[in-house]
Amino acid sequence: MITRTKTGLLKPTYRLNLLHNKISQQDPTSYTEANKLLEWRNAMAVEFLALQKQDTWQLVPAPSSKQILGCKWTFRKKLHADGTVARFKARLVAQGNQQEYGLDYVETFSPVAKLPTIRVLFTIALHHAWKIHQLDVENAFLHGDIQETVYMKQPNRFEDPVYPNHICLLRKALYGLKQAPRKCYTTLCNHLLRLGFSPSKADPYILTFHQGNTKMFLLVYVDDILITGNDEDAISMFLHQLNQTFALKNLGPANHFLGIRIQYKQDNYFMSQESYAISIIQQANLINCNSAANPSCTKLPAGHTMESATLSDHTTYRKITGALQYLTITLPDIAYAVNMLSQHMHAPQEDHIFLKRLIRYIKGTTDFGLPIMKLGLNLTNYSDADWVSDPITRKSTSSYCTFLDTTLVSWIVKKQTTISRSSTESEYRALAASTADTIWLK
């Protein structure tokens, strides 16, 4: 007898969950949704109090011929490395997409520390047995003074009872403004220069302090700071001086930096992104897939089509491929596969099935990461080239990696900008790029 079970026509059973969870799994997207929970109301109150303490704006009557920016609340849960909730974070963000260049802002560029610099800092600190302290600047963007005249509406449900129709004349660089990162960088960097630090010529966001026998190295990535050195007393004194101007939160030894989990085990560090890798797998709806042994295939099978309806969507393809680029921070073995996928983001085709293969490989290597060993500091570089790797454009692919003894600190996979007429020429182009990177690291 042909039944619905055999034909697969059974409808799924829907079970109603009558239990109400106090804390929602997803972050709220609007003020109305966040106002229903006490945790988010407290987070908004803390943020608004910080805005008032920093003297972020001044209430003035609304001008007749000036553009007035809007604002909105954004919400996000900060998580520990194990996935538990650390704190509820609310931010009042100005709608900077309404700003006009030349009128509301001019300079917007703000440098951040390069990722190889972070790995080099950990390697050198481990070699000299220095402790690495992690700091967080609370409301970092609110410390930057702005010279431009920018008006903003009062936040919803936080209007001043005495002047409800007034607007905010911004004095500080609020989140969301085009010039906010630039002003934050300038304010922090100028203060560090007054304290005796000097920026590196190779990477301006790694600052050094040399005075007598005292050495300190400070790395800044927007509002996250790493500091290490050979004198713990000098570091404590510096942090006390810095805390008088900026509201700092000492997070102790570095263990979770830029979404990277940092584990210290017997004279070595181990960097991994396990939770981030699992989130990418869940985003691709492949949480129950089987793992693969290789991140990519050398030759695509003929007549094979995209196996997953989710990954065949162009928007999802671009979203997951962009997320995989950040995963290469601790997984250099997927750099080549991610490079190949990124070349087709403008027009994904059905034969790009190795995106699913790469996710299956990540499923089996979520606990993989990058080890930093305590050995020597000998700089070694390896380069290679894949001649005419792209059969359409006839361009080659350069790749190189650099080690500090056995610690991998820098690597890259990149398509060459010009066509090489021989395999030797492509090898020399890769060697030239690796040499430039080695000189920069030195």
pLDDT (tens digit per residue) in 95-138: 888 888 877 788 888 778 888 999 999 999 999 989 999 988 87
- Coil vs helix vs strand at 71: strand
Residues 6+ apart with CB under 8 A from 214: 229, 230, 231, 234
3-state secondary structure 181-225: HHHHHHHHHHHHHHCCCEECCCCCCEEEEEECCEEEEEEEECCEE
Q: How far apart (Å, rounded) are the C-alpha atoms in residues 62 and 64?
A: 7
pLDDT at 438: 93
Looking at the domain assignment, is residue 17 inside a domain? no
> Same structural domain for residues 108 and 133?
yes
Looking at the domain assignment, is residue 14 inside a domain? no
> Same structural domain for residues 299 and 192?
no
Q: What are phi and psi of 171, to 5 degrees?
A: -105, -30
pLDDT at 372: 92
Query: In the structure encoding, which two tokens stand for residue 58, read together?
Result: 């001044």
The number of angstroms, rounded, from the C-alpha of 143 to the middle of its chain's C-alpha atoms is: 21
> Same structural domain for residues 247 and 294?
no
> Same structural domain for residues 356 and 389?
no
For CA atoms 400, 401, 402, 403, the dihedral sign is negative
Name the burial class of residue 70, with classes exposed (0-12), middle (13-18) and buried (19+) by CB atoms within 10 angstroms of its CB: middle
Q: List the chain residues with pLDDT less than 70.
A: 8-25, 81-83, 140-143, 298-312, 349-353
> Same structural domain for residues 337 and 302?
yes
Q: How far apart (Å, rounded) are the C-alpha atoms in residues 288 and 100?
A: 48
> Same structural domain for residues 106 and 224?
yes
In the chain, the number of structural domains is: 3
Looking at the domain assignment, is residue 15 inside a domain? no
- Residue-number span of the structural domain to which 350 is assigned: 272-367
Q: How far apart (Å, rounded) are the C-alpha atoms in residues 352 and 340?
A: 9
Looking at the domain assignment, is residue 209 inside a domain? yes
> Same structural domain for residues 326 and 432?
no
> Same structural domain for residues 359 and 395?
no
> Same structural domain for residues 281 and 245?
no
Last residue of a domain, one of 235, 258, 281: 258
pLDDT at 431: 95
Query: In the structure encoding, which two tokens stand for residue 226, read together?
Result: 């790493």
Looking at the domain assignment, is residue 5 inside a domain? no
Last residue of a domain, one of 206, 229, 258: 258
pLDDT at 434: 94
Looking at the domain assignment, is residue 24 inside a domain? no
Q: How far apart (Å, rounded) are the C-alpha atoms in residues 197 and 200?
A: 10
Residue matched to tokens 């700091």: 135
Q: How far apart (Å, rounded) are the C-alpha atoms in residues 412 and 176?
A: 32
> Same structural domain for residues 339 and 421?
no
Looking at the domain assignment, is residue 264 inside a domain? no
pLDDT at 303: 46
> Same structural domain for residues 322 and 420?
no
The number of angstroms, rounded, from the C-alpha of 33 to the middle of its chain's C-alpha atoms is: 27
Last residue of a domain, one of 367, 387, 410: 367
Query: In the structure encoding, which two tokens stand for residue 54, read together?
Result: 């920093």
Looking at the domain assignment, is residue 26 inside a domain? no
DSSP annotation of 329 reads T
**Which neighbouring-strand residues pair with 253?**
133
> Same structural domain for residues 144 and 224?
yes
